[in-house]
Structure 1
Amino acid sequence: MENMLNEIEKGLEAGLYHLALGMTLCIPDICAALQSNNGETKKNKYVNWYDQYVGDKVRMSANDCYYFRCAFLHQGRTEHKDSQYRKIIFIEPTSTLTLHNNVLNDVLNIDIQIFCRVIIDAARNWYEEQKDTKNYKSNFEHSFKRHPEGMAPYIVGVPVYG
């Protein structure tokens, strides 16, 4: 889990905002699945996780985040017919101006770096609560992650993601 969060942070530091945002939007799904009885997630689990761990730290509601995630990851869009906003736009950070949590007409604008860091912090808090639970341990064993020494008996001696 920490490796994935660190990679998102490195993406932010490198200005790879598209990649960082995509993985950030997956965090509530991944965490919800890791804490579930069956290791799977659905919209209601995503929304519940977001409400509990992100809450009102950003103006985007849990439902709007879920709808944006669907539009962004599956259609490459910034709008979803069920969102309360016509569109959600993310602003790259600048050294002179921060535009965050503003509604401009019916468009929500969010600072991409602030948003990603809020979700990352929420995931770290969630991890501290969940890391010793039965569901987390069982589901993490089967989750996609980095294996620094490979995955015997398939590949050994080099890092593998799987």
Structure 2
Amino acid sequence: MDGFFGGLEQSLRDRNWHAVLVMSLTLPDICVKASDPSRKTNRTRYAAWFEQHVGPSYTRSVGAQQYRQEHKFLSGDDCYALRCALLHEGSTDTSEQRASDVFDSFRFFAPGADGNVNHMNQDGGKLYLMVDVFAKDMLAGARAWWDSLTPAEQTAAKARQLTVTTTDGGMAI
């Protein structure tokens, strides 16, 4: 997983926001498959992984003190719909995605020089997210998941993962 984690961290440092989004949205697929290599990843498994490992970061208590309620800003199904729209269509419009739960579209903001943050703001069927915060949340969830595996599970997962070798036979990642 080091290659995937390191690649996402490098993309964050380089402010390569498209790569950041693609890598962030594919991490759950990679983790799900590594958890159970005999089964294909799918909407249900992706959404469940997200809910367990990242979802708590997207749930907040909102409202006046006496009326506070738990509000889920991003569900596993909506994240899967976003993944499908972005990876298959290059879009953040999820209105045509069957997995879409609450949102019709997403808008991502990159950190600017002024330091303004627009994260987990909802306007009707649109969710606004900071691309760097979203990526760091996805990465933190994936790292925590990875750290929860036994050494034997990690070794088995590593054996099945992508490796890239240099043309002179050395290991690149």
TM-score, normalised via structure 1 length: 0.85
Question: How much identity, in percent, do the aligned residues show?
Answer: 25
Q: Deviations over 1:81-111 (max 9, x none)?
A: 2422121111111232000000123210000
Shift in Å, 1:77: 1.4
2:69 maps to: none
Quick one: which of 74, 77, 86 aligns to 1:72?
86
Shift in Å, 1:144: 1.3
1:51 maps to: 51
Shift in Å, 1:157: 3.0
Q: CA RMSD in A?
A: 1.9
1:85 maps to: 103
Quick one: which of 154, 160, 166 aligns to 1:142?
160
Any conservation in 2 of the 1:3–1:146 contact (CA below 8 Å)?
no
1:6 maps to: 6
- Kindly tell me the number of residue pairs found equivalent between the two proteins: 154
Unaligned runs of 5+ in 2: 59-72
1:129 maps to: 148
1:100 maps to: 119
Shift in Å, 1:139: 3.8
TM-score, normalised via structure 2 length: 0.80
* Partner SS state of residue 138, structure 1: helix
Counterpart Cα distance in 1 of 2:168 and 2:150: 27
Shift in Å, 1:156: 4.3
| Segment of structure 1 superposing worse, 2-11 or 36-45 | 36-45
* Partner SS state of residue 95, structure 1: coil
Unaligned runs of 5+ in 1: none
AA in 2 matched with 1:90: F
Asked if 1:33 is matched to 2:51, the reply is: no
| Segment of structure 1 superposing worse, 61-70 or 82-91 | 82-91
AA in 1 matched with 2:129: I
Shift in Å, 1:62: 0.6
Counterpart Cα distance in 1 of 2:170 and 2:151: 28
2:62 maps to: none
Shift in Å, 1:14: 1.0
AA in 1 matched with 2:151: D
